[in-house]
Amino acid sequence: MPIEPRRVSRRSLLVSAALVPGAVTLAGCKDDPAGSTPGAVNPSSSDGRAQETPTADPAVVAALSTAATQVTLLSLAFAVTSRKFPALRTQLAAGAKYHASHLAKLKETAGVTAAAGKTPAVAGTSSAALTALAKQEKAAAIAHAAAAAKVSGAPARLLAMIAAAETQLATTLTPNKKANAS
């Protein structure tokens, strides 16, 4: 009995065509040895653990400071919205926690500061407030992804991770239109 050759589905072919170039690009990326890249991990620390070396690159400090300011404003928006709409506290708790951890991670780099901003206005309804937070998250994600493309190494990974988290938060905060129509 002859064995028929295995046929590849169109879906598998399209997925492979989309993923292979990205994987090849990522496989070709590598960081410079530690110590030569600003913000790189220094594996030869005195206590044996890898630690972040302070960066002296003004572009990295500026990008991370801008991100820290945006994250601070988002965190403030979450806090104000939680106070105005106590019913949303549980839904907003995860986002507030993520923003706090992102801010702490951004401030680990020497020279990074977050500028203080004014308290944001909150919409009149909880649904409008969630929509406004989702829009702010999307805008911050776009800004952080663009900033990640301009730096390299650990700062780029950090900004990309924050952008991904903000994109996910924006998606989860967007009110379900089907539920609102009911």
Helix, strand, coil distribution of the chain in percent, nearest 5:
65, 0, 35
Residue 92 to residue 68: CA distance in whole angstroms: 19
> 51-52 and 41-42 as β-strands: parallel, antiparallel, unpaired?
antiparallel
In this prediction the pTM is 0.65
Summarize the confidence of residues 1-14 as an average pLDDT: 56
Residue 42 to residue 145: CA distance in whole angstroms: 25
Provide the token pair at 164.
């991904």
Tell me the per-residue pLDDT of 46-91, one tens digit each, with 9 for 90 and over.
554 545 555 458 889 999 999 999 999 999 999 999 999 999 999 8
- What domains are there in the chain, each with its CATH number? 54-113+121-177 (1.20.1260)
Which whole-number Å values give the CA distances from 120 to 24, 72, 100, 129, in the listed order?
43, 11, 17, 11
Confidence of residue 124 (pLDDT cuts 50, 70, 90): confident
Query: For residue 34, how far is the Cα from the chain centroid?
Result: 24
pLDDT at 114: 86
Tell me the per-residue pLDDT of 10-29, one tens digit each, with 9 for 90 and over.
655 454 555 445 443 444 44
